[in-house]
Chains A and B, each alone.
Chain A
Amino acid sequence: MSGALARLAAQAEVLKLARVLGAPPERFAFLLDVPPDDIRALRHQATDVLFDSNLDALRRMAAASRLLPAAVLAVMTEKAFGPLLSARMAGLVDTARAVDIASRLSPGFLADVAAELDPRRAAGVIAGMPPASVTEVTRELQRREDWITLARFVDHVPEETALTGLAELHDAALLRVGFVLDDAGRAATVFERLPEHRYPRLVLAADEHDLWAMMFGLHLRLHEPVRLRFADAAASLEPAARARAAERGRDLGVLDDLGPLRAALLA
């Protein structure tokens, strides 16, 4: 990764860490020169600390919730627990029951919970959500421009759930989410399974929204067949757009790493 791309990735990681800690990202500006992988590792450590704190009390609350009907719990979840505690408890409640409760919550509240959730610990609940709910929550998170939460879900939910959500994203949003995905393997897989018509649209969005840096950062993590699809799409751009992209690639120091995409931009 070039220095410029590493700094972009570090910015994304600082935003994610700040989200976990509930603090403004500017407070951690000193991390911008730290390797993004190390910021990510620290975020995972901090997440574990927070999710393991108060665990006994949370488990007792989850146990007590078994005494109540799902309809009552849904009201309590929105009016008393709030998003933070709901997110902490999601992985502690029986999965089928958690899905039942979640299905009764408003998309806005579910989006609030999603922002606080550790998808690693609530994978069963997320996987059990009906596609219509996934779609609604994705739309709400897109409306909020919460790319970080969307990316965390794409990283951890079952692939089919991720693809259901990604189908809802507009092209620029998909690039932004793709860039902040933690898991390079997941990025490669979901971008490989996009419908064919999205590749030209994504390339156009990169040009129209000046998202070439994100496109290049994402591109470097993809498998060769997908890179070729993006290169084909880029070849059909107007010459001026290809020149802008090539110049951005040079500025970022990544143009020579782009393989077939480089050839398409310079043709």
Chain B
Amino acid sequence: MGASQREPRDLAGLVGGPLPESIENLPDEHKRVLAEALREARRRQARALSEASEKSLSHVPFLLRGAVRKAAGL
């Protein structure tokens, strides 16, 4: 997927700005651990959002489902 190929690999790129000095000075392997943990958290959140979108529609009264689907962009 193009979007994931464009995702920054390094921690500073992921947070979109300069890191605090002592974090910047950590060994690369430690910065990689932090970057991977942040990427995992983002993936988990995206997955939860996708699952909840589908699941939530089943709780919407039938007559409103079309309008809600449209407003939510589902």
Interface residue range, chain A? 35 or more
Question: Contacts A72-B60, A75-B59 given: A61-B41 contact, CB under 8 Å?
Answer: no
Residue interface mask B39-51, A partner, CB < 8 A = 1: 0111011101100
Q: How many residues of B contact A (CB 8 A)?
A: 37
Question: Quick check: A84 and B22 within 8 Å, CB to CB?
Answer: no
Contacting pair A67 B33 (CB below 8 A): no
CB distance from A119 to the nearest CB of B (A): 18
Q: Does A42 lie at the interface of the complex (its beta carbon under 8 Å from any beta carbon of B)?
A: yes
Tell me the dominant secondary structure on chain B's binding face. helix
Indicate which residue in A27, A48, A50, A80 contacts B56 across the interface (CB closer than 8 Å): A80
Q: Which residue of the partner chain A has the closest CB to B14? A: A49
A85 to B47, CA, bound (A): 11
- Whose C-beta in chain B lies nearest to the C-beta of A53? B42
Given contacts A21-B41, A49-B15, contact A63 B72 (CB under 8 A): yes
Closest CB of chain B to A192's CB: distance in Å?
30
Query: Inside 8 A of A66's CB, which chain B residues have their CB?
Result: 71
Contact B52 A80 (CB under 8 A): yes
Shortest CB-to-CB span from A50 to chain B, Å, is 6
Contact A27 B37 (CB under 8 A): yes
Determine if A3 is an interface residue (Cβ-Cβ < 8 Å).
no
The answer, among B48, B49, B53, B68, for a CB contact under 8 Å with A67, is: B68
Contacts of A82 in B (CB 8 A): 48, 52
Q: In whole angstroms, what is the CA distance A48 to B38 when docked?
A: 11
Please list 10 pairs of residues, one from A and one from B, whose beta carbons are closer than 8 Å in the complex, sorted by A's number.
A23-B41, A49-B38, A49-B42, A53-B42, A57-B73, A64-B71, A67-B71, A68-B68, A72-B61, A88-B45
